[in-house]
Each structure stands twice: as C-alpha cells, then as structure tokens.
Structure 1
Amino acid sequence: MTATPLIWDISAPVHSASPAYPGDAPYQQRWTARISADCPVNVGAISLSPHLGTHADAPLHYDASGPSMGAVDLQPYIGPCRVIHAIGCGPLIAWQHLQHAITPDLPPRVLVRTYAQAPQQWDEHLSGITTDAIARLADLGVQLIGIDTASMDPAGSTTLDSHMLVRARGLRILENLVLDAVPEGDYELIALPLKLMEAEASPVRAILRPLAA
C-alpha cells in the first residue's frame, strides 16, 4: 500500500529553462559574491517576471487601480481547497467539466488540473476557464481559483474575459500549479505570496497537506 504524502509540493521549479509567457522576463541569475579565500559566502542576484512558475496574480495585474501583491489579504491563500480534474478538456474548462466534483460542502478554494503531465515548454494551447464556470464557483462562495496552466484566459486573449470577471467578483488567482501527482479531493492549501509592495504578482511556494481529521 502506498503511503499518503504528508505534503504535496505543487510548485513549478524555477530556473533558466522555466517556460515564460511570451514577452515576459525569463529567469536569470548571476553571482555577486562567491566563496573564496576573501569571501565566506555565495550571494546571487536574480531577475524574473513575477508570473514565472507558480504564482499569484494581484488585482493590479488586470486593474490599473487594483492593490499590489503586498497589499492583498493573505486569507484566500491558506485553508481548505478542492482539487478537481478536468484533464484534456481545453481550450476552455467549462462548468460541465467541473460539475462532477461540486458538492454542497465545496471549500472556498478550487484548484483545477488540466494536464496529465505539466509541460516543460511554453504551451500556446493552454486551457483557460470560462466566465460561466468562474461565476458559478463565485456564487458558491469560492474565493480563490487555481489552475495548472499559465493563465485563466487563452494564451492569445486580448480581452482577458476571465481575469475581468475575477476582478469584478473579487476572487484571487493562482496559476502554473503542478498537480500531476495529486488525486481529486480535499486538502489544505498553503500558497503564500511574497510581500511585494509594488508588484502585480508574486511567485509562491504552493503546497497541499491532508486535512486534519
């Protein structure tokens, strides 16, 4: 019998080969100090888009007057969640793809798995989520929606309809989750963003834990 993991790490690795949204800054690192006879430590400097890897979008990403990541309430990013599988149902995940896992005790956080295996390269055919599905989840009290793709909207969208509805309904977003090894079901989510006071997004180290009995 396979033991249940104590922690599922659902964060994408971040390195120089990490897929980046076209036009976004890739990961780059340089050393400003190296261990040597004259220096006791290694110190690096990194640059990257805050949307690289697993990340949280702040309202400032899609609302010119929205709060930055550092000003957003942390409560939506920690607590009970439900992982729902909608594998291969793209290009847009609709309510019919989620409905099998919707019950009266739905937690206020929903994570959607669309990939059988997370891609190692940029996926221009990524799956988004329909505005109807987002609206229905919001009506059920969902505060945060996560997805294992790079965007809630199709990669080529210029109107960002799903992001705009998220804005209107006051929801929070996690993107680029890695849910390959996670069965459908309920978990505790911990996915805290950095306190970046001027940024429109933040990398997160997202994990799932079994819910306490």
Structure 2
Amino acid sequence: MNKEWIDITQTISTRIATWPGDTLFEYELTATKDDGGAANVGTITASLHTGTHADAPFHYVSEGKTLDMLDVNMYIGRAKVVSVVGATEIGREELEGFDLTGVERLLLKTTNTASPEKFPDRINTLKENIGPFLKEKGIYLIGTDQPSVDGIESKELLAHHSLFNNDVFIIENLLLEKVEPGDYDLIALPLKIEGADGSPIRAVLRKV
C-alpha cells in the first residue's frame, strides 16, 4: 500500500493569524447559485505571506528573483525533518549534531504546539550563521514552522539575508507539530505569480 501524504499546511480562513499590520485574509462569493448564477464564484484578498508560504528573494532584496523566476524542482523532492524544539535560536551550533549528509531540503520543527489563529508573542528564529552552514551541507531549501526566520521586531532581517547570500530559499509557517523527525518526500509548490515576493503553498510530506 502506498504511504499516505501528510498535510503540513495551515488552513487559510478569515481567522488565520497574519503578520502584525499585514493584509487580513478575506473571502467572499461574488456570484452564487442561490442568486441565479451559473456557479458559485469566490474572490480573495490576502497578503502573499498568509499562512504556509514561500518567500521569494525579492521579498527582502530589491534585486532578488521574484517567485515566478524560481525553479519548481526546488519545492519537490526529498526532505529531512529535524526537531530543534527547545531552541529559541537555530544556527550552526544547533544543527551540526544532525546527520545532514545528502540533504537538500531541511524542515525545522521548533515547537510541539501550533496555533495558526494566534500570532505568537515571539518567534523561534534562525541565526545569522545558518546560511554558510547550510551551503556547506549542500542544503538549498529551509522550512520552518514559524511565521518568519527573523524576529518580529527585526528590521535588518539578518537571517533572511544570510540565507539569500548562500543561495538558500525559504518556506515559513509549516505545520510540523505532529510530524516525526526523519526523511520524507516533499511537495510544497507556490503559485506562479508574476513579480511576486511570495506565495501561499500547499505543503505535504510522505514518509520514505
């Protein structure tokens, strides 16, 4: 029997927490069967960083690539989930004890409790030294269960830039609370939006 896919995506609804000051998610039906329409048709308004999402380099570097320019193969393939629960900052020191041989996509489980409808008071962030470390290991995609790789008050976005400078791409707001550490197949495709700084994704894992 084929192993089942595990959904690690936050459900997007009008109750979902968004970054402070960012656009709230809204969904409405602009045409309905009940009103005589041929079909129900919905419209959404949202930040591109709503829920589980991919960052494009353009999000934090004006000359960076937009999401439609990125290789889709980056978001499909073997991934490793590691637990760093208890660490408030994650960098070289927290990761060098894991066997990351051959790993290209790394997903960080930083908490055992997720609350997609409540924005956290603080974020388990990545250290500035993580970019060079991941590049040394051959890792080009990092995922976290936090809303950002940098802190809420950060203006310099040191972790974002460390990853960018070392050709590592970012997924944020994964749901990993019920996922055991180990090796998985990952599909986490962003929408192909021209000029976009990010995109919500539907992320799933399958144990290998």
Asked whether the two chains share a fold, i.e. TM above 0.5, the reply is yes
Structure 1 residues 1-213: aligned runs within 5 Å: 6-36=4-34, 38-90=36-88, 92-103=89-100, 105-119=101-115, 120-211=117-208
Summarize the Cα distance change of 1:88–1:4 in structure 2 as closer, same or farther, 3 Å threshold: farther
After the TM superposition, which parts of structure 1 deviate over 3 Å for at least 4 consecutive aligned residues?
A: none
Quote the Cα distance in structure 2 between the aligned partners of 1:37 and 1:192.
35
Q: Which moved more, 1:47-56 or 1:69-78?
A: 69-78
Unaligned runs of 5+ in 2: none
Distance apart, 1:22 and its partner CA: 0.8
Indicate the larger mover: 31-40 or 5-14. Answer: 31-40
TM-score, normalisation: structure 2: 0.94
Task: Tell me the percent identity.
Answer: 33
Q: For 1:73, give the aligned amino acid.
A: D
Conservation of the 8 A alpha-carbon contact between 1:82 and 1:106: no
Contact 2:129 2:162 in 1 (8 A): no
Q: How many residues align?
A: 207
Q: Is the 8 A contact 1:85 1:98 kept in 2?
A: no
1:75-111 Cα distance to aligned partner (Å, 9 max, x none): 2111111101011211x113332233234x2410000
1:107 corresponds to which letter in structure 2?
V
Letter in 1 for 2:202: R
Superposed CA deviations along residues 165-184 of structure 1, whole A, max 9, x for unmatched, are 11111111000000011101
Distance, in Å, in 2 between the alignment partners of 1:198 and 1:11 is 24
Distance 1:6 1:173 in 2: 25
Q: Structure 1: which 5+ runs fail to align?
A: none
The whole-number CA distance in structure 1 between the counterparts of 2:156 and 2:80 is 28
Structure 2 SS opposite 1:18: coil
Q: Is the 8 A contact 1:194 1:203 kept in 2?
A: yes
Question: In angstroms, what is the RMSD of aligned CA positions?
Answer: 1.6
